[in-house]
Amino acid sequence: MSTVLGRLDQTLASDAMSLGTLETLRDQLAAAREAAHTAELRLNSQLENLQERMRRIALLEGDSGPVRPADALTGRWKVTVLPQNFTATFDLRLNGTVVSGSYQIDGGGNGSFRGSLAGGHLRLERIDAQGGADSLWEGTLGTNRIDDGTWGTHELVTGQPPRGKWTAVRESGS
C-alpha cells in the first residue's frame, strides 16, 4: 500500500498527470487495501488458533487459570446469623435448581443442607448432625452475596430464639 501511495504522491507532484494514471493508481490502491484486509483476517485467524492451542495445553497441564464458580451459588460462603451474632461457613452446590451442601458453625456444630434455588430465591432445610432436620433458611441470591435471609427453627424448646436473620458473603467458588 505504501508503494502505491508513493506513486500517487509522485504523480500528483509531476506536471504529466493523466486521468488514466489516476484511475490505475486508484485500482492499485483498492487492490492494496484488499490485500491488507485479507492479511489482517488471516492474522486474526492465526491468533485465535494459537490462543485455542494455548488454552488446550494449559488445560492438559492442569493450569486452566483462575477457578471460576460454575454458577452464582456453588462455593464457600461466610455467614452471619442474628440475633445470636455467630458466624458459620456454608459450602453449597447447585445442580439445576436443587441445592445441597454442608455447614460448620464457628466453634460449634455442623451438618448438611438440602433445598432449592429458583428465581434468585434460596430455600434451605438445615439437617443438624445431632438433631436432624431442625430449621428452614431462606434468602435472596445476589452477586457474591445472600441477603434478606431469614431462618426459623422447628424446635421450640431449645432455649434459643425460634427465628432470626442471616446474611452471607462468598468466600470462594468451586
Mean pLDDT of all residues in 100-108: 89
According to the model, what pLDDT value does residue 68 have? 47
Q: Answer yes or no: is 151 within a domain.
A: yes
Q: pTM of the predicted model, to two decimals?
A: 0.57
Q: Name the residue range of residue 46's domain.
A: 2-60
pLDDT band for position 81 (cuts 50, 70, 90): very high
Q: Answer yes or no: is 15 within a domain.
A: yes
Contact indicator for 67, 75 with CB cutoff of 8 Å: no
The upper half-sphere exposure of residue 88, i.e. CA atoms within 13 Å in the direction of its Cβ, equals 20
- Per-residue pLDDT at 77 exceeds 90: yes
CB-count exposure of residue 128 (10 Å: 0-12, 13-18, 19+): middle
pLDDT per residue as tens digits for the range 121-163? 999 998 877 777 889 999 999 999 999 999 998 766 666 788 9
Q: Are residues 137 and 163 in the same domain?
A: yes
Averaged pLDDT score across all residues of the chain: 85
For 88-151, give the DSSP string: EEEEEEEETTEEEEEEEETTS-EEEEEEEEETTEEEEEEEETTTEEEEEEEEEE-SSEEEEEEE
**CATH number of the domain enclosing 140:** 2.40.128.120
Q: Answer yes or no: is 66 within a domain.
A: no
- Per-residue pLDDT at 113 exceeds 80: yes
Q: Are residues 161 and 91 in the same domain?
A: yes
Q: Answer yes or no: is 67 within a domain.
A: no
Rounded to a whole number of angstroms, the CA Rg of the chain reads 32
φ/ψ (deg, to 5) at 166: -155, 155
Q: Answer yes or no: is 69 within a domain.
A: no
Q: Are residues 134 and 50 in the same domain?
A: no
Q: Are residues 82 and 166 in the same domain?
A: yes
Pairwise CA distance, residues 121 & 148, whole Å: 10
Q: Are residues 104 and 40 in the same domain?
A: no
Q: Are residues 56 and 80 in the same domain?
A: no
- Per-residue pLDDT at 78 exceeds 90: yes
Q: Which residues contact 119 (CB under 8 A, 6 or more apart)?
A: none
Q: Are residues 101 and 158 in the same domain?
A: yes
The upper half-sphere exposure of residue 162, i.e. CA atoms within 13 Å in the direction of its Cβ, equals 4
According to the model, what pLDDT value does residue 132 have? 77
Mean pLDDT of all residues in 30-59: 84
Domains identified in the chain, total number: 2
Mean pLDDT of all residues in 64-93: 83
Mean pLDDT of all residues in 19-37: 83
